[in-house]
Chain A
């Protein structure tokens, strides 16, 4: 336990202590400054969009992996963990290369639709979808595996179409896991740095994410500014943790044997 406090609690304590020294008024002023606010909003908005995409994509992927059989399924299943195992800097430069205006995917999109992917907010979305995907898939997948087929059959014998069964029986059963995966992907994406900074473009007010702004403030020796942004992000992290715990409590309300 001493190790826990040394490695995790002490550093966070240092951050909080420093924040207390600076005082709420000063912190609030920094967070409220236009550039910081823009960065925080961008981080949160992009993370939200990516997590929403992963909510749907992760569910579809998990469903396909559990329910459908196709050649190479086990390999695909293993590949889902790749974004988790791949260092973020590696993912960052690889994604940038592909989605840059001269990249394999970036060039055709640029030619056909005139839309830039890398160095815009869309690039940030792509990177955040990449890092969040394993969380979205791996939280719902075991729950899909545990669905009793009998429950689906019961729904069908009662006259429900497959669509009705999916919507009214299966989706509610998956909801807690879906929300947990969503919150995990969101939490991860809000704080993500390595995979984003290469593809983002990093223009203040446009594609400058909050973690990058912390790094910039630190390089300018503006510790107060860095601490203020970090406090805002820490608050978001805690809110996510709380949310995840609440979802888990809520999801247990049916399963209590009594």
Chain B
């Protein structure tokens, strides 16, 4: 799905988290929102997901204004920084949650839910953990379960907030490949937020560098490395 961000701004009280920013994200792209904390990248992601209301501007999904659309109707697969898994449900129930939460008319039959959850567990390469509880999983496994849960609702886009932030370096590298694989398999427009430039450069097709609520530069990883357009980008990459 093609996502168009049109002059979106966000204020929390008196502080501006986002200056008006505009960005066009082509369908099927894998995009990184890169910047230090407080740069507005997570706010932008949450506005796309419908968790935050922009103070001004519009969001267009495939050319249709979706600014005021309810979270529930957006079908944005959202992966939270700390995964936000439902502790009291098994992995299976976590993944099935979005399907079970549908209104009766569009809810798949139990057998169908089971089939889809099994498929998703295979996709994240953890076929045997359906009966476990989140507390019995490693950090990396939790992240993959969160991803499977987001995919279960047949999302139109995938939004990930620091998906590797809570993991140690070795697991991080492994899971990058996992996200790439899932993106390539599903063809979903995927946007992830990170403060780690190596991660952004290695994984994303397109990197959006942000600072102080502004977009500093948008480009392919190689182009940004070769030609940083602003002082901030130059310094941030050097760090």
Most chain B beta-carbon neighbours within 10 Å: one of A159, A161, A258: A159
Select one of A150, A253, A257 contacting B80, CB under 8 A.
A150
Q: In the complex, which residue of chain B has the Cβ closest to the Cβ of A158?
A: B98
B97 near A255: Cβ-Cβ < 8 Å: no
Q: With contacts defined as CB atoms under 8 Å apart, how many contacts are there between chain A and chain B in the complex?
A: 76
Cα of A254 to Cα of B137 in the assembled complex, Å: 11
Stretch at the interface among A12-20, A103-111, A168-176: A168-176
Q: In the complex, which residue of chain A has the Cβ closest to the Cβ of B76?
A: A157
| A154 contacts partner chain B, Cβ-Cβ < 8 Å | yes
Given A173-B88, A254-B133, A256-B135, is A157 in contact with B51 using a C-beta cutoff of 8 Å?
yes
B49 near A157: Cβ-Cβ < 8 Å: yes
| B77 contacts partner chain A, Cβ-Cβ < 8 Å | yes
| A164 contacts partner chain B, Cβ-Cβ < 8 Å | yes
The interface residues of chain B lying within 8 Å CB-to-CB of A172 are: 88-89
Cα of A253 to Cα of B97 in the assembled complex, Å: 21
| B237 contacts partner chain A, Cβ-Cβ < 8 Å | no
Cα of A256 to Cα of B82 in the assembled complex, Å: 17
| B72 contacts partner chain A, Cβ-Cβ < 8 Å | yes
The interface residues of chain B lying within 8 Å CB-to-CB of A168 are: 97, 101
B101 near A155: Cβ-Cβ < 8 Å: yes
A169 near B71: Cβ-Cβ < 8 Å: no
A254 near B101: Cβ-Cβ < 8 Å: no
Given A154-B78, A169-B86, is A258 in contact with B51 using a C-beta cutoff of 8 Å?
no
CB distance from B49 to the nearest CB of A (A): 6
The interface residues of chain A lying within 8 Å CB-to-CB of B50 are: 157
B84 near A154: Cβ-Cβ < 8 Å: yes
Interface string of B125-150 (1 = CB under 8 A from A): 00000000111100000000000011
Q: List 21 A-B contacts (CB under 8 A).
A: A150-B81, A150-B84, A151-B84, A154-B84, A154-B85, A154-B86, A155-B86, A155-B97, A155-B101, A156-B51, A156-B71, A157-B74, A157-B76, A157-B150, A159-B72, A159-B73, A160-B101, A168-B97, A253-B133, A254-B87, A258-B136
Q: Give the 10 A-B residue pairs with the shortest CB-CB distance, closest first.
A: A158-B98, A160-B101, A150-B84, A157-B78, A154-B84, A156-B71, A172-B88, A151-B84, A150-B80, A254-B87
